[in-house]
Amino acid sequence: MKGYDALPKSWQPVLSVARLTFRAATRFRVVQFLVLLLLALVVSLPLVLKHDGTALGLARIVITYSLGSIITILGFSTLWLAVGNLAREVEDGQMQMLAVKPLARWKILFGKWLGIMAVNTLLLAVSATAVGSLLNYRSRQLNADERQILTEQILTARAPHRAPTPDFDGMAREQLEASVAENQPTEFDRPSVLAKIRADLLARHEAVLPQYVRQWKIPGSTTDRPAMLRLKFRTARGVHEPVRLPTAWIFGEINSSNHVRLEAVLTTDTFHELAVPPDLADTDGLLPVHFVNLTGETVVFDLADGPELLVPEAGFPINLLRAFAILYCWLGLAAALGLAAACRLNFNVAAFFAVSVLLIGTFDGTIADVSERGSVWNIPEPELVTTAHRVTDWLLVPMIRLLDFLLGAITNYSPIESLSLGRSVSWTQVAAAFGQCWLGFGGLLAIVAITAFSRRELANPDS
Amino acid sequence: MIDLTENIEKQPASTPTDNRENVVSVRALSKVFKDFWGRPKAKAVNDVSFEIKKGEVFGLLGPNGSGKSTTIKMLLGLLNPTKGFIEIFGHSPRHVKTKERIGYLPEESYLYKYLDSRETLDFFGNLFQLHSEERAKRAEQLLEMVGLNQVRSRTVGEFSKGMQRRIGLAQALINDPDLVILDEPTAGLDPIGCREVKDLITALANRGKTVIISSHLLSDVEDVCDRVVIYYGGKIQAMGTLKELLTERETVRLTLPTLPREKMDQVLAMIRKDVAEDRIQIDNPTQNLESYFLGVVKRARENEQQTSGATSGSTVAHYLREGGEEKDQKAKILDRLAADLAPTPIAELLEEKPATTEQKQDANLASLAEAEAPKPVAPVVSKAAERKASDEKADDKLSSLLGGDN
């Protein structure tokens, strides 16, 4: 292949190994099989799972489920390719032929990683094209209103902006200190009191009493086109029964003439998007948003669901590209994990290890729950907790918390939900994902892999 | 088995050309294989030392499991020595740059089965950072050399063992290596392939390349090696040049053209005076099977019979023939022949003079053809003459392979 001649000579062996790895995947029909599988999945999933005829329903199936399935399949296939390619070559002896050539062992690993990522590039490109095309095709089956929602709210890239969250911890401490100075208590449970004060402050922040007005000042307002205010609220009743409530909203400074009033009946416990006209920012460039509680009961805006302003900043194709860039970043990490495992372990053990890690990753929700609860046991009554429970927790919880931290660092960049909500997957997010997954975890795996592989004897008494 | 350990100590590791560059130095090398828990499992190589000079064809001989392949894998950096020291071209076996000068043919076919022969050579050429034109040129010549140019589009997985051996040999030479390490190079090859590999090894050595051969096929080693070590139980049991190891100094074989009956009787009568009857051995020479087989195939080829597999390679790749030492090839072969033909001239042997006891002990005559039957005595070919004929054949073949003017 003459293409190598144009590159620096030291790259020639690395790219040659990469090309060989890609070629192995195609000659063994792995790529062809995966292309067919992915296409079948993208096309068939929306046929099997009927959506509710709304733009959001369509987006959930075509984007959320399809992307979720694609990344699961590609995650497994990447691990399999990485482990199989390296471990098999070591076991079958081909690695001896590479190791006796003038090519440092880290370059062999890097070449293999590049080859696997070339396979993933092709598969992700096919998947992205299939998802984009299918979304375009299925959108024609929606009615005009839903199609408009799809175009304006989902097939776009909107940057999310939120009002800054108050420092509840700092406020709680200040309040406690003031109270202690005033009342001079001799003895009290400081952490418990602090937690209660913080909870009280949070409740006051989230709750809007009947006939009261709540104001947020959100950055990122637009001057040329409308933005959307995405929000969810609930009543302060213990049971979350969705009810329809009359609401009133004022966007812009109330005291100035530059504001818009909007009244709408909205359902609780459901996300809504309200159109916010442009040019309503105050002198600081912030958009004042007021909620007027016209109802007879307290309305709660949970901090996590708190209103966020979605400002269009790019088109859907670029958002899809950025989302796939993050998926690509995850696959790069999976390839590094597979190669690192195969550097020291034989095929069966390495495959078991790598697949186990991936499976554990799918339980991220449970892991997060255990980590937050501080116990693997979900026992509501403290008196039922035995020594056995405590010992298990002592052994397992630290490991699960570490796992939660690692998984969180990777899955925090998940672009799937953002994409299905038309929310921007920003370049910053992409850069951070690459930095953390490739330079951070990937770098760590590379060090482990290169050290293990460089020390490994590539022949045995029988070969 | 003859223990020649004493000989190792007495004889210098290599003969007159000791001032040549050391290509491989191995000192006190040991390898112990351990189990999962780090407990010693087998001592594959035990305190082995040898040196290999530039231009030598060095043979590692030994039964299966004697440690020769383990030694080779340590030389290549595939296994780490437990103890001892290895230097290849003055560097550690793991030194990446040094590997540019090494070609390796493993015992098994460790090639990528999904690549065809052309892709295989292109891939390995890339690992040596060869330019595309150079890769293509060398691949072409190597495929021609190993006789696979007609099956280049078939993947290696479809090849027979012999064909895999041939493409393996080609890849080992893609970088025009200074040191060629061949592990059982003729395993799986037909007699023609074996002969061609041996001719190739001779051609490489004549170009000043160093060749290490590991084999348990004694005839392969005997045909091409300058020096051998014999392994058993991980230890070197014998080491030296073939001449040093194989010469039976107490006996001599004499080969004569057919003599008239009365002359032969005279010769025998003279010998019988000094040598007991039971120590005189007379027989008719036979052609060896390899020569006979090659003759049959040569005739068949001349009759243009078709074959579906590998064809006989005819020409050593041109880039392997280039170089300053090429001009000395014929001279080297003649030197070898001269060395082999060193024994006393026949005329001198036939001179009638009283033999002393010492002369008896150093007798130059070992056997003579005896014409007991009335028919003329068949020609008896001595080992030296056989070697000479064989070398002349090799010389002729090399002349055609390397170009008649060289």
* More confident site: B98 or B12: B98
Nearest-CA distance from A34 to chain B in Å? 19
Q: Do the chains contact at B106 and A93, CB–CB below 8 Å?
A: yes
B128 interaction partners in chain A (CB closer than 8 Å):
101-102
A343 neighbors A109 (Cβ within 8 angstroms): yes
- The mean-pLDDT minimum among A178-192, A230-244, B144-158, B318-332 falls in B318-332
B27 pLDDT tier (thresholds 50, 70, 90): very high
Q: Average model confidence (pLDDT) for chain B?
A: 75
B14 pLDDT tier (thresholds 50, 70, 90): very low
The SS3 call for residue A250 is strand
pLDDT for B42 equals 87
Q: Do the chains contact at B110 and A20, CB–CB below 8 Å?
A: no
Scanning every residue of chain B, which has its alpha carbon at the shortest distance from the alpha carbon of A460? B79
Nearest-CA distance from A105 to chain B in Å? 9
pLDDT for residue B365 is more than 50: no
pLDDT for residue B341 is more than 50: no
Nearest-CA distance from B148 to chain A in Å? 20
Model confidence over A35-45: pLDDT tens digits? 999 999 888 87
B123 interaction partners in chain A (CB closer than 8 Å):
16, 20
A102 pLDDT tier (thresholds 50, 70, 90): very high
Q: Do the chains contact at B79 and A4, CB–CB below 8 Å?
A: no
Residue of B36, B127, B175 to mutate when probing chain A, most A C-beta within 10 A: B127
Q: Do the chains contact at B79 and A97, CB–CB below 8 Å?
A: no
pLDDT for residue B287 is more than 80: no
C-alpha span between A229 and B2 (Å, rounded): 95
Scanning every residue of chain A, which has its alpha carbon at the shortest distance from the alpha carbon of B171? A97
Average pLDDT over residues B20-47: 90
B171 interaction partners in chain A (CB closer than 8 Å):
97
Model confidence over B83-98: pLDDT tens digits? 999 999 999 999 999 9
A23 interaction partners in chain B (CB closer than 8 Å):
114-115
Scanning every residue of chain B, which has its alpha carbon at the shortest distance from the alpha carbon of A457? B79
Q: Do the chains contact at B126 and A12, CB–CB below 8 Å?
A: yes
pLDDT for B6 equals 41
pLDDT for A147 equals 87
Nearest-CA distance from A457 to chain B in Å? 5
Nearest-CA distance from B70 to chain A in Å? 7
Closest Cβ opposite residue A12 in set B97, B115, B129: B129
pLDDT for residue B301 is more than 80: no
The vertex-A12 CA angle with A8 and A15, nearest 5°, equals: 120
* More confident site: B127 or B298: B127
Residue of A97, A98, A107, A457 to mutate when probing chain B, most B C-beta within 10 A: A97
pLDDT for residue A132 is more than 70: yes
Scanning every residue of chain A, which has its alpha carbon at the shortest distance from the alpha carbon of B135? A1
Q: Do the chains contact at A101 and B127, CB–CB below 8 Å?
A: yes
B114 interaction partners in chain A (CB closer than 8 Å):
23-24, 27-28
Q: Do the chains contact at B78 and A4, CB–CB below 8 Å?
A: no
Average pLDDT over residues A236-265: 87
Residue of A100, A107, A349, A453 to mutate when probing chain B, most B C-beta within 10 A: A100
B80 interaction partners in chain A (CB closer than 8 Å):
457
Closest Cβ opposite residue B80 in set A23, A93, A457: A457
pLDDT for residue B359 is more than 70: no
pLDDT for A438 equals 92
Question: Which of B64, B98, B63, B78 lies closest to B31, judged by CA?
Answer: B78
CATH class of B5-246: alpha beta
A300 neighbors A235 (Cβ within 8 angstroms): yes
Q: Do the chains contact at A101 and B99, CB–CB below 8 Å?
A: yes
Q: Do the chains contact at B77 and A100, CB–CB below 8 Å?
A: yes
Nearest-CA distance from B12 to chain A in Å? 31
pLDDT for residue B305 is more than 60: no
Scanning every residue of chain B, which has its alpha carbon at the shortest distance from the alpha carbon of A24? B114
Amino acid in the structure at residue A441 = F
Q: Cβ–Cβ contacts within 10 Å for residue A325, how many? A: 18
Scanning every residue of chain A, which has its alpha carbon at the shortest distance from the alpha carbon of B107? A463
Closest Cβ opposite residue A13 in set B110, B111, B126: B126
Query: CB pairs below 8 Å between A and B: how many?
Result: 87
For residue B300, count CB atoms less than 10 angstroms from its CB and return exposed for 0-12, middle for 13-18, buried for 19 or more.
exposed
A459 interaction partners in chain B (CB closer than 8 Å):
73, 78-79
Which tokens is B353 given?
């003079």
Residue with tokens 């491989």: B24
Closest Cβ opposite residue B97 in set A28, A102, A461: A102
* More confident site: A358 or B296: A358
Q: Which of A249-263, B295-309, B374-388 reaches the highest mean pLDDT?
A: A249-263
A299 neighbors A306 (Cβ within 8 angstroms): no
pLDDT for B362 equals 36
A300 neighbors A210 (Cβ within 8 angstroms): no
Domain A161-314 fold is: Jelly Rolls (2.60.120)
- The mean-pLDDT minimum among A345-359, B139-153, B390-404 falls in B390-404
Scanning every residue of chain A, which has its alpha carbon at the shortest distance from the alpha carbon of B112? A94
Core vs surface per residue B183-218: b (16+ CB within 10 A) or e? bbbbbbbbbbbbbbbbbbbbbbbbbbbbbbbbbbee
All CATH 3.40.50.300 domain ranges of chain B, comma separated, are 5-246
Helix axes A443-455, A105-139, angle to 10 degrees: 140
Average pLDDT over residues B325-335: 43
Q: Do the chains contact at B115 and A463, CB–CB below 8 Å?
A: no
Q: What H or E segment, with its residue span, contains residue A64?
A: none
- The mean-pLDDT minimum among A91-105, A145-159, B39-53 falls in A145-159
Using a CB cutoff of 8 Å and minimum separation of 24, what contacts does B69-72 make?
B69/B107, B69/B183, B69/B214, B70/A461, B70/B31, B70/B44, B70/B45, B70/B234, B71/B26, B71/B29, B71/B31, B71/B45, B71/B214, B71/B231, B72/B181, B72/B183, B72/B212, B72/B214
The pair phi, psi for residue A33, each rounded to 5°, is: -65, -45
Scanning every residue of chain B, which has its alpha carbon at the shortest distance from the alpha carbon of A18? B123
pLDDT for residue B373 is more than 50: no
Q: Do the chains contact at B78 and A20, CB–CB below 8 Å?
A: no
Closest Cβ opposite residue B127 in set A2, A16, A92: A16
Average pLDDT over residues A143-158: 86
Q: Do the chains contact at B127 and A5, CB–CB below 8 Å?
A: no
Model confidence over B135-181: pLDDT tens digits? 999 999 999 988 888 888 899 999 988 899 899 999 999 999 999 99
Scanning every residue of chain A, which has its alpha carbon at the shortest distance from the alpha carbon of B97? A102
Closest Cβ opposite residue A101 in set B79, B108, B124: B124
All CATH 2.60.120 domain ranges of chain A, comma separated, are 161-314
Amino acid in the structure at residue A385 = V
* More confident site: B312 or A426: A426
3-state DSSP: chain B helix, strand, coil percent, rounded to 5? Answer: 45, 15, 40
Model confidence over B222-241: pLDDT tens digits? 889 999 999 998 999 889 98
Average pLDDT over residues A273-281: 89
Q: Do the chains contact at A102 and B127, CB–CB below 8 Å?
A: yes
pLDDT for B325 equals 45
DSSP A213: E
- The mean-pLDDT minimum among A265-269, A276-280, B13-17, B148-152 falls in B13-17
B122 interaction partners in chain A (CB closer than 8 Å):
1
ipTM score assigned to the predicted complex: 0.80
C-alpha span between B178 and B320 (Å, rounded): 10
Scanning every residue of chain A, which has its alpha carbon at the shortest distance from the alpha carbon of B95? A102
Closest Cβ opposite residue A100 in set B99, B112, B114: B99
Q: Do the chains contact at B110 and A94, CB–CB below 8 Å?
A: yes
A96 interaction partners in chain B (CB closer than 8 Å):
73, 76, 78, 106, 110
CA atoms within 13 A on the CB side of A170: 3
Nearest-CA distance from A343 to chain B in Å? 15
Q: Do the chains contact at A102 and B104, CB–CB below 8 Å?
A: no
Residue of A23, A101, A114, A346 to mutate when probing chain B, most B C-beta within 10 A: A101
Instruction: State if pTM tops 0.80.
Output: no
Sheet holding A299-300, edge to edge: A207-208, A299-300, A234-235
